[in-house]
Amino acid sequence: MSQPTVGRTAGTTTVPSRPRQREVATESEALVAAASAAVVAGLAALLIFFGRTPPLWGGASLGLVTAGAVLVLGLAAAFVGYWRSRYLPDQSWRLSLPPWKFIVDATTVALVHALISAIATVATFLLLQRSFQGLTVDIYAATVGMAVACGLAVYWIYLSVADINTRKLSGLLVLFMVMSTVASMATSQDPKWWEYHFSQLGTLGGASSGLFNLSLIVAGFFITTFAVYLHRDLRSLIERNVLVHRWSAGLCSGAFVAMGLLLAGVGVVPLSVSFLIHTLFASGMAVVFILLLLASPFVLRGLPRRFFFLCSAFLAALIVSLLLFFPVGYFNLTAFELIAFVIIYGWIAVFIRLLDALAVGTADG
């Protein structure tokens, strides 16, 4: 009797490779997590909406309760998935992290995933309510809707955190900041907030200000999470003699930690609490970013030359936008802050993705 063999051979049974087995196992765990979340959400919906016909959005609505359930269940699923993924071969390096660092990283990754899912849930139910104005649902439809929404959210979250890498982190950061900022602007209590400055969103009170400040804090700690992955990728490039300076990994990751903590400080101390401290945090982040751009040709010597041309382009765009704000006066402060926001996060995304591509490319080579 012939034994199963590995590979594509006629008349034999193919044994899945280990990477394929890991993918199947992760997929199975994600399905179990999604099914569990759907059951929990469905039971909660039965209790919450018993004897009621809630609207899709507005007040104690199906959308609001579902968004809260997605946030809570998503956090739980993200923590479990991120913790279990440490034992995968390509993620085992995280086992050497100090416990406090792993807790911080796991918390920020979980919060970003859960908040993205919750904001997407709110947007979905808000659009449905505006598309079907006046519609209310019975307890059966509410139960099914809440169970399906939570199950889908947990399924995506579990798969995402189980296969986290530097490139995915950069995409999640941009997605999170765009979604949370747009949500804060759309729900702001002052429709003329843009006539003042970007930080005005965090001073108006209510849910929109809370979301804006929370998003800055979470994004700040998320950037510090980048530092862990960034340091690993840079060390890999140093060991393969792509980068010239052995200290570049520590310096760059330290700069990211500084930018992350300063951004978190902007959210912790809104403009209405202390103008001076808020401004120091915001300007400090800009200074660290500009210094990193200016020093990149020396600190990151060995990277492709086109990357440094791109750094010059980002710096030139920032200077031009500053001049158009002052002294030209073409932009108001809000427009300049938004442009600076796009430039900073755009450069971070490009830098992270380039490092990830180089680390993978040199490893394959």
The answer to whether the predicted template modeling score (pTM) of the entire model surpasses 0.75 is yes
Burial class (CB in 10 A: 0-12, 13-18, 19+), 51: exposed
Question: Per the structure, how many domains does the chain have?
Answer: 2
pLDDT digits (tens, 9 = 90+) for 86-120: 887 777 777 888 888 888 889 989 999 999 999 99
Domain that residue 47 falls in: 16-164
Same domain for 248 and 261? Answer: yes
Same domain for 233 and 103? Answer: no
* CA nearest neighbour of 227 among 335, 316, 108: 108
Q: Identify whether 185 is part of a domain.
A: yes
Same domain for 153 and 175? Answer: no
Same domain for 139 and 239? Answer: no
Same domain for 71 and 211? Answer: no
Are the beta carbons of 330 and 324 closer than 8 angstroms?
yes
pLDDT digits (tens, 9 = 90+) for 22-73: 778 889 999 999 999 999 999 999 999 998 999 998 878 999 999 999 999 9
Same domain for 173 and 42? Answer: no
> How far is residue 17 from each of residues 20, 21, 93, 97, 309, measured CA to CA in Å?
5, 6, 22, 29, 42
Same domain for 86 and 229? Answer: no
**Distance separating alpha carbons of residues 230 and 217, to the nearest angstrom:** 20
**Distance separating alpha carbons of residues 16 and 6, to the nearest angstrom:** 7
pLDDT digits (tens, 9 = 90+) for 332-363: 878 888 888 889 888 988 888 888 788 776 55
Q: How confident is residue 2, by pLDDT bands cut at 50, 70 and 90? A: very low
Q: Identify whether 10 is part of a domain.
A: no
Q: Identify whether 110 is part of a domain.
A: yes
Same domain for 52 and 178? Answer: no
Q: Identify whether 104 is part of a domain.
A: yes
In the prediction, which pLDDT does 36 show? 97
Q: Identify whether 1 is part of a domain.
A: no
Interval 124-143 mean pLDDT: 91
Q: Which residues contact 365 (CB under 8 A, 6 or more apart)?
A: none
Q: Identify whether 3 is part of a domain.
A: no
Interhelix angle for 62-84 vs 139-162, to 10°?
Answer: 30
**Distance separating alpha carbons of residues 117 and 125, to the nearest angstrom:** 12
The distance between the two most distant Cα atoms of the chain, rounded to a whole number of Å, is 84
**Distance separating alpha carbons of residues 154 and 66, to the nearest angstrom:** 12
Helix (H, G, I), strand (E, B) or coil at 136: strand
Share of the chain above pLDDT 90, in %: 39
Same domain for 307 and 263? Answer: yes
Q: Which of 112, 132, 164 is the last residue of a domain?
A: 164
Same domain for 155 and 89? Answer: yes
Interval 236-250 mean pLDDT: 90
| Residue 302: half-sphere exposure toward Cβ, Cα within 13 Å | 19
Q: Which of 121, 141, 164 is the last residue of a domain?
A: 164
Q: Which of 164, 195, 221 is the last residue of a domain?
A: 164
**Distance separating alpha carbons of residues 324 and 336, to the nearest angstrom:** 8
* CA nearest neighbour of 81 among 31, 150, 120, 18: 31
Same domain for 155 and 231? Answer: no
Burial class (CB in 10 A: 0-12, 13-18, 19+), 251: middle
Same domain for 206 and 348? Answer: yes
Q: Identify whether 312 is part of a domain.
A: yes
How many other β-carbons are positioned within 10 Å of the β-carbon of residue 43?
13
Q: Identify whether 85 is part of a domain.
A: yes
